[in-house]
Structure 1
Amino acid sequence: MSSAEGYENTLKNFRNAVEKGTNMLELDVRRTRDGEVVVFHDASLLRTAGSDLKIEDVDYASLPRLSLTVPIDTIPGEKFVDDTWSEEDRRIPLLREVFQEFTNIPINIDIKENDIRLIKQVSALINEFERAELTVWGSFNNEVCKECYRVNPDVRLFFSVKRVVILLICAITGLLPFVPIKETHYEIFLPMALKKRRLMQVQQLPLSEKFLFWACETFLVWKPLISHLKKRGIHVYFWVCNDENEFAQCNELGATGCMTDRPTLLREFLNKSTE
């Protein structure tokens, strides 16, 4: 995250976030044509680097630097630009480099491709740097999550979308206390934050979306569910939270933490909360 304070998924931005007091880095990984595991969010280079090519179709050495002006994916209409960042600062890094530099920082990895080669390579890097206990991985895609767990069950795992739905059904029906859970992290969008961003794009929500947001606001952040998960040692994170009202709701819901594009603002909020 931290996309409002630096170029996303770059080493310099990760350093800045840690200096601001960030306790966990969140990043995305993909595989280049020549088999390197890189830290990058989109499938295409278009939004962040201005090149209409896919990461998987380019060798690592040929990847362009990020553009000086980058639209922020999670904040509609906002862009990050800072001409003091050098080309090296805007380089797309390897996951290996992130592990080498941030040896003691927990890292949350979103596996962006349903590719067993990528999963095995990430697993090998986690083992090489002996950071299974400091790493959380997974995907929205349930098949990817199943492969992650099969390849390396020692690494912390977040819920896929399918597993979240199953979790909610079990919670609503009262079966959850009797259901085994292999995942260690419940990471979902904060409905309030997503709804606010959606309303920045449309004047009025369609009826179907109103119902969907009502369901999310009712069940995804249901306090008895969150309490139950925490009692079972499962961490609860919400994304993407970028203002004090959203931080406050995360705190009120009992979240373990939240993912943000504005780590400085979050640190200020946390400091005020402990005064």
Structure 2
Amino acid sequence: MSSFLYYLLPALGGYTLTSLYLLKNPLILHKRKRTAFYCTHISHRGGCGERIESTMGAFRNAVEQGTHMLELDCHLTNDGHVVISHDENLLRESGHDVTISSLKLQDLPLYKERLEVTFNAGHFSTGADRRFALLEDLFRTFPEIPISIEIKENNQVLIEKVSDLVRRFNREGITVWASVDSTIMKKCRSTNGSMPYSFTVKRGVLLLFLFYTGLLPFFPLGESLLQFYLPQIINRTYIPENNILKNWLIVSLLEKVTMRKRLFNHLAARGIQVHLFVCNEDEDIKSALEVGATGVMSDYPSLLSSYFYRHRNLTSNTSTHDNSKKLGNGNDGK
């Protein structure tokens, strides 16, 4: 046994030191990713705290406030149109217990006049624009703004239509596939492998395993973005439906396990952007940046712009170029 330890301990020590060194210097083994965008200011659901979520009014306001990226979800109508909406069932958004897939585009209801902000419980957004927006209208209006599209449905037709629109508007480099489901992500990537993509839940768990075992510096990663909760918002401004996340001990453990600055710095050094959400207060934005986020996602684009302006000396190093864009003149109809 002693002879076994004689060889094991030096090998283990050498592995640990090598892993730690490569964690800080990942470009020795990996080529840095070069995406066509670098975003520090991301608007969740188009900035749903300031305008009705996912409407053209919300997207316009977010771009006017200086956002670098729009985050959204898509679903397919019964007559084959790609509609921007977080939910497939429209009860929460419109008060009508119907699904997008059961309706033709012309039959979609309007959003509620006042809509509660999911990640800021008790607060509501309003806006003159209450129509559901089409993805193609958003692409037409903002041809140069990076967009992260989450696909929630395992629907090959939806995935193909999104891909076709991305190709049609020549924005494969600045449109991101996002999904929590690895099966859906596999279909997205097989349909259009030219688009950058984010971590799924399964790949995120693998990422943590690789980090804690020291294997991460040796492992290739195809993802370009990691988008994840800032755990401190859970149960304070965001009340999750999942009962297990309502337990503060679970949330505390989640924070300790996932919010690792060394991990985020390693990903950033490899060119993988880290976006933490949904940060709707100054203290959350500060916490996200302090733990190593390269970008912050918020429901309030003006709040985020104000924070970055007030702390521009501290945040100037997190952005590599000016992402400000001119507003387009595209049609914002249904």
Q: TM-score, normalised by structure 2?
A: 0.76
User: What is aligned with 1:220?
Assistant: 258
User: What is aligned with 1:120?
Assistant: 160
Higher mean Cα deviation, 223-232 or 65-74? 65-74
Q: How large is the RMSD of aligned CA atoms in angstroms?
A: 1.9
Structure 1 stretches of 5 or more lacking a match? none
1: CA distance between counterparts of 2:205 and 2:245?
22
Q: Percent identity?
A: 38
1: CA distance between counterparts of 2:146 and 2:202?
25
Q: Does the alignment pair 1:74 with 2:119?
A: yes
Q: Does the alignment pair 1:60 with 2:105?
A: yes
Q: For 1:252, which of 287, 290, 295 is the aligned residue? A: 290
2: CA distance between counterparts of 1:135 and 1:48?
25
User: What is aligned with 1:107?
Assistant: 147
Q: CA deviation at 1:199?
A: 7.3
Question: 1:211 corresponds to which letter in structure 2?
Answer: L
CA contact (8 A) 2:114 2:125 kept: yes
1: CA distance between counterparts of 2:214 and 2:163?
35
Q: For 1:29, which of 74, 78, 82 is the aligned residue? A: 74
Structure showing greater relative contact order (alpha-carbon pairs closer than 8 Å, 6 or more residues apart): 2
Q: For 1:180, which of 215, 220, 226 is the aligned residue? A: 220
Structure 2 stretches of 5 or more lacking a match? 1-43, 314-334
Secondary structure at 2:130 match in 1: coil
1: CA distance between counterparts of 2:96 and 2:235?
31
2: CA distance between counterparts of 1:224 and 1:211?
23
Q: CA deviation at 1:164?
A: 0.4
User: What is aligned with 2:279?
Assistant: 241
Q: Deviations over 1:184-219 (max 9, x none)?
A: 100000011224235799xxx989933322332112
User: What is aligned with 2:138?
Assistant: 98
Distance 1:199 1:80, change over 3 A: closer
CA contact (8 A) 1:226 1:254 kept: yes
**Which of 1 and 2 has greater Rg?**
2
Question: 1:269 corresponds to which letter in structure 2?
Answer: Y
2: CA distance between counterparts of 1:254 and 1:171?
15
Instruction: Report how many aligned residue pairs link the two structures.
Output: 267
CA contact (8 A) 1:9 1:27 kept: yes
Higher mean Cα deviation, 53-62 or 66-75? 66-75
Question: 1:27 corresponds to which letter in structure 2?
Answer: L
Q: Deviations over 1:61-102 (max 9, x none)?
A: 1101112121222222222234xx1xxx21101100000001
Q: Does the alignment pair 1:266 with 2:311?
A: no
Give the ranges of 4+ consecutive aligned residues of structure 1 lying more than 4 Å apart after TM superposition. 198-201, 205-208
User: What is aligned with 2:176?
Assistant: 136
Secondary structure at 2:257 match in 1: helix
Question: 1:213 corresponds to which letter in structure 2?
Answer: V
Q: Deviations over 1:159-193 (max 9, x none)?
A: 11111001100100001112121111000000112
2: CA distance between counterparts of 1:104 and 1:131?
8
Q: CA deviation at 1:58?
A: 0.8
1: CA distance between counterparts of 2:164 and 2:246?
44
Q: For 1:189, which of 208, 220, 229 is the aligned residue? A: 229
